[in-house]
């Protein structure tokens, strides 16, 4: 399998998009690397703490899909240059910088993961 380094995947994150919401926090991904899809998601982690898989979701024009529901039949699609919103519930961020990580399984590439550090913006 081809290894994709974390520094390249980190480019998916839209810097400055990390925000608290009423229910948790959210951030944006924008794919400039090449179209693809994930058939399985790993839990998002914040400052070393893993969040429950079903507390995270991605938002597309067609609706909202929980990370727990991502599968071959319901993949998380990362189209080229189209932003995708990732949301969490049950965990708001304190002011200041946070290290956020996520991972996903991509056919032909295996499990990929990356992290980013950003300062939370208040909504």
Average pLDDT per run of 10 along the chain, which is 123 residues long? 73 94 94 84 96 94 89 86 93 95 90 94 66
Q: How far apart are CA 33 and CA 82, in angstroms?
A: 11
Q: What are phi and psi of 118, to 5 degrees?
A: -155, 165
**CATH top-level class of 6-119:** mainly beta
pLDDT of residue 61: 74
Q: Count H helices, E strands: the chain?
A: 1, 12
Other Cβ atoms less than 10 A from the Cβ of 109: the count is 14
Domain definitions of the chain by residue range: 6-119
């Amino acid at each position: 399998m081809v290894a994709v380094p974390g520094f390249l995947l980190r480019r998916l994150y839209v810097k400055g998009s990390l925000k608290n919401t009423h229910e948790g926090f959210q951030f944006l991904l924008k794919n400039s690397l090449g179209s693809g899809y994930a058939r399985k998601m790993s839990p998002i982690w914040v400052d070393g703490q893993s969040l429950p898989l079903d507390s995270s979701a991605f938002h597309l024009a067609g609706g909202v899909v929980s990370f727990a529901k991502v599968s071959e039949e319901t993949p998380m699609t990362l189209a080229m240059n189209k932003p995708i919103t990732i949301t969490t519930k049950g965990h708001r961020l304190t002011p200041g910088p946070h290290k956020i990580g996520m991972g996903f399984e991509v056919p032909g590439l295996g499990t990929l993961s990356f992290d980013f550090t950003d300062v939370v913006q208040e909504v």
